[in-house]
Amino acid sequence: MSFTMPGKILEEYTVRNNRLGLVQFGDTRRPIFLDLVPKAHIGDYVRVHVGFATECVPEEEAKRAYEQLVKEGHFKTAELDLEADEALPDATRRLKPR
Amino acid sequence: MIPEEFVEMTRAYRLLSELDPSQLRKLLPLAQDKQFGVGQTIFKEGDKSSFLHLIVAGEVALEMVAGGQNVRVQTLHPGDAMGWSALNADCHTHFQARALTPVSTVAFPSERIREACDRDPAMGYALMKRLLELVTERLDATRMQVVNTHREPEAAPRR
């Protein structure tokens, strides 16, 4: 799974020798490997290729990318700080972090 | 408590997730996302192997054509690799692969992955070891399937 837009790390877990995160891309959330971005933690933005975060992205750059996607009509809002699950469509809503 | 989807993710990507980060950084740029619909043929028996696929979601039937019919040899699941003959130049696929459900794979173009392994033999060796583990598991599964198919039915208990 690859995404052209940066994603925001919402949760972190360690499974055996791997570090993974729940990463939000617009209105979609996916588990992503974080092994290649050891400095990235919850709240940081990362670029993802085939399921692996490959680089950190500065917050300002991520926000500009989302604003561009909103301009192009891909999203309704560039607001990424979605504290409330209600902000997400039902299909992508997920239980609060355990 | 770790959500099950994260545990499944490490199973599905085990061919890659067990590599060292430095090796992974060399392989990932070669990888492509591939999607296949239900019933779609991923490759045919005898095709030139063009991709090594790692299945990350869905189920795939490995089949051979016998007597004009498709005979299923094995069902592959997330975490399984297919098309590994792509690692040998001029090699052709031994089976047909068909998607039983919507399937997602991480696919490595055969020529590019061979070049990367030739350039960095340590990385190539690490990848081959992981791949060999998967292939051995598949052989064991096939052996069990054959044993079960040919097992004598147990004698019915006497009354």
Closest partner residue to B2 (CB to CB) among A13, A33, A50 is: A13
Residues B109-137 have a mean pLDDT of: 90
Q: What is the pLDDT of residue A76?
A: 62
Q: Encode pLDDT of B19-50 as tens digits.
A: 889 999 999 999 999 999 999 999 998 888 89
Q: Do the domain assignments include residue A98? A: no
Average pLDDT across chain B, whole number = 88
Give the pLDDT score at B156.
58
Q: Which of A1, A31, A35 sits opposite B21 (nearest CB)?
A: A35
Report the number of distinct structural domains present in chain A.
1
- The CATH number covering residue A48 comes to 2.30.30.140
Question: How confident is the model at residue B49, as a pLDDT?
Answer: 81
| Domain-embedded: residue A96 | no
Distance CA A61, CA B18 (A): 31
Cα–Cα–Cα angle for B95, B97, B98, rounded to 5 degrees: 145
pLDDT at position B154 is 62
Structural contact between residues A61 and A6, judged by C-beta atoms closer than 8 angstroms: yes
Query: Quick one: pLDDT at residue A87?
Result: 38
User: B115-124 pLDDT, tens per residue?
Assistant: 999 999 999 9
Domain containing A36 equals 5-88
CA distance A52 to chain B (A): 8
Q: Exposed/middle/buried for A50, CB within 10 Å: 0-12, 13-18, 19+?
A: buried
Q: Tens of pLDDT along A44-69? A: 999 999 999 999 999 999 988 888 88
C-alpha angle B108-B111-B112 in degrees, rounded to nearest 5: 60
Give the closest of B3, B18, B21 to A36, CB-based: B21
Domain membership of residue A48 (yes or no) is yes
Counting residues of chain B whose pLDDT is more than 70, the rounded percentage is 95
Q: Say yes or no for a CB contact (<8 Å) between A31 and B6.
A: yes
Chain A positions in Cβ-Cβ contact with residue B21 (cut-off 8 Å) = 35-36
Confidence of residue B91 (pLDDT cuts 50, 70, 90): confident
User: In chain B, at which residue ranges do the beta strands (DSSP E only) sit?
Assistant: 32-36, 41-43, 51-57, 60-66, 69-76, 81-82, 96-99, 103-109
The domain limits of chain B are 4-147
Q: Is B5 on the interface with A (CB under 8 A)?
A: yes
- Residue A74 is assigned to a structural domain of this protein: yes
> Does residue A15 fall inside a structural domain?
yes
Contacts of B10 in chain A (CB under 8 A): 15-16, 18, 20
CB-CB neighbors (< 8 A) of B102 in chain A: none
Residues from chain A that touch B9, judged by Cβ atoms under 8 A, are 15, 20, 31, 33, 51
Above pLDDT 90, what percent of chain A?
51
What does the pLDDT average to over A26-54?
94
**In the structure, what pLDDT confidence band is assigned to residue A85 with cuts at 50, 70 and 90?**
very low
Chain A: residue whose CA lies nearest to B9: A31
pLDDT of residue B157: 63
Whether A35 sits inside 8 A of B18 (CB atoms) is no
Please give the CATH topology (third level) of the domain spanning B4-147. Jelly Rolls (2.60.120)
Q: Which residue has the higher pLDDT, A83 or A40?
A: A40
Is the CB of residue B45 less than 8 Å from the CB of residue B77?
A: no
B52-82, pLDDT tens digit by residue? 999 999 999 999 888 888 888 889 999 999 9
Tokens linked to B3: 């959500």
